Structure 1
Amino acid sequence: MLKKISIYLSENPTLRYWIIRPEWVAVILLILSIIASLQLSPFFGDLAFIMDSATPYVEYGLIAIILTLIIISGEIDLSIASMIALTAVIFGTVYNAGFGMLFSVLIGVLSGALCGLFNGILVTKLKIPSIILTIGTLTLYRGIAQALASDFSLGGYPSWFIGIDYRYVSIIPIPVIIFTVFALIVGFLLSSTIYGKQLYLIGTNPQTAKYSGIKVDKIKLLLFTFSGVISGVAGVLTTSRLAVARFNMATGAELEIVLMVMLGGTYIFGGRGNIFGTFVAFWIVVILRSGFNVARIKIESQLTILGAMLIIAIILTNYIYSKSQK
Structure 2
Amino acid sequence: MSDIDLDRATTRNRGVPGWLATWDAAVIVLTVVVLIAASFAVENFGTSRNFTFLVLDLLPIILVALPMTMIIVTGEIDLSVASTLGLTSSLMGWMWNNGMSMETIIPLCVAIGAVLGAFNGFLVTGLGLPSLAVTIGTLALYRGLAFVVLGDGAVADFPFAFTGWVTGTIGDGPVPNVLILIVVLALIFGVVQHATPVGRSLYAIGANAQAAHFSGIRVARTKFWLYVASGAVAGLVGVLWTLRYSSARADNGVGLELAVVAAVLLGGVSIFGGKGSLPGVLAGVVLLAALQNALRLEDVSGQALNIVTGTLLVLSVLLPNIVKAVRGNWQRRRLRQSAAH
TM-score by length of 1: 0.91
The answer as to 2:167 corresponding to 1:141 is: no
TM-fit CA distance, 1:48: 5.1
Task: Confirm or deny: 8 A CA contact 1:21 1:324 kept in the other structure.
Answer: no
In 2, Cα distance between equivalents of 1:299 and 1:83? 22
Q: Whole-Å Cα distance in 2 between the matches of residues 43 and 271 of structure 1?
A: 40
* Whole-Å separation in 2 of the counterparts to 1:34 and 1:99: 43
* Alpha-carbon RMSD: 1.9
Q: Distance in 1 between matches of 2:163 and 2:20?
A: 45
Contact 1:20 1:320 in 2 (8 A): no
Shift of 1:262: 0.9
Q: Structure 1 residues 296, 269: closer, same or farther in 2, change over 3 A?
A: same
Given that 2:93 and 2:150 are in contact with CA atoms closer than 8 Å, whether structure 1 keeps it comes out as no
Q: Please, which moves more after superposition, 182-191 or 134-143?
A: 182-191
Give the drift of 1:105: 1.4
Please list every run of 5 or more consecutive structure 2 residues that lacks an aligned counterpart in the other structure: 1-14, 332-341
Letter of the 2:294 counterpart? G
SS of 1:240's equivalent in the other structure is: helix
* Cα displacement string for residues 269-300 of structure 1 (whole angstroms, at most 9, x for unaligned residues): 00001110111111112210111011111110
Q: Is 2:62 the partner of 1:61?
A: yes
The 8 Å contact of residues 17 and 324 in structure 1, kept in 2 or not, is answered as no
How many residues are matched?
A: 313
Deviation at residue 96 of structure 1 after TM alignment: 1.1
**What SS is found at the alignment partner of 1:227?**
helix
Q: Secondary structure at the match of 2:44?
A: helix
- Large movers: runs of 4+ above 6 Å: none
Structure 1 Cα separation of the partners of residues 156 and 45 of structure 2:
33
Counterparts of residues 73-92 of structure 1 (less than 5 Å): 73-92=74-93
Q: Assess if the C-alpha contact under 8 Å between 2:86 and 2:146 holds in 1.
A: yes
TM-fit CA distance, 1:123: 0.2
Find the partner of 1:181 among 179, 184, 204: 184
Per-residue CA deviation, residues 192-222 of structure 1 (Å, 9 max, x unaligned), is 2111111100110101110111110001000
2:41 matched to which residue of 1? Answer: 40
Per-residue displacement from partner, 1:152-209 (whole Å, max 9, x unpaired)?
Answer: 1023222212232123224211212321232122112211211111110011010111
1:238 maps to a residue whose letter is W
Matches within 5 A, 1:1-326: 16-17=17-18, 21-46=22-47, 49-169=50-170, 170-322=173-325
Partners of 2:118 and 2:304 in 1: CA distance: 36
Structure 1 residue 74 displacement after superposition = 0.8
CA gap of 1:15–1:109, structure 2 versus 1, over 3 A, is closer
The answer to which of 159-168 and 307-316 deviates more is: 159-168
Q: Give, as a single letter, the amino acid of the residue that structure 1 aligns with 2:145.
A: I
- Alpha-carbon distance in structure 2 between the residues aligned to 1:322 and 1:47: 43
Contact 2:116 2:228 (8 Å CA) reproduced: yes
> What secondary structure, in the 3-state scheme, does the structure 1 residue paired with 2:231 have?
helix
Q: Which amino acid letter does the alignment assign opposite residue 91 of structure 1?
A: M
Over 3 Å counting, the alpha-carbon distance change for 1:320 and 1:181 in structure 2 is farther
Q: Distance in 2 between matches of 1:262 and 1:218?
A: 24
SS, match of residue 53 in structure 2: helix
Corresponding residue SS for 2:319: helix
- Tell me the distance in 1 between the aligned counterparts of 2:103 and 2:110: 11
Per-residue Cα deviation, 1:22-68 (whole angstroms, up to 9, x for no partner): 21221132123124313433533345532432213202210011100
Answer yes or no: is the 8 Å Cα contact 2:110–2:232 preserved in 1.
Answer: yes
Contact 1:79/1:135, CA 8 A, preserved across alignment: yes
**Deviation readout 1:44-99 (Å, 9 max, x if unpaired):** 33455324322132022100111000000110000000000001111211121111
| Partner Cα separation in structure 2 for residue 278 and residue 182 of structure 1 | 14
TM-score (norm 2): 0.87
Bigger drift between 152-161 and 262-271 goes to 152-161
SS of residue in 2 equivalent to 1:43: coil
Identity across matched positions, percent: 33
- Contact 2:295–2:305, Cα closer than 8 Å, also in 1: yes
In structure 2, distance between residues paired with 1:210 and 1:289: 41
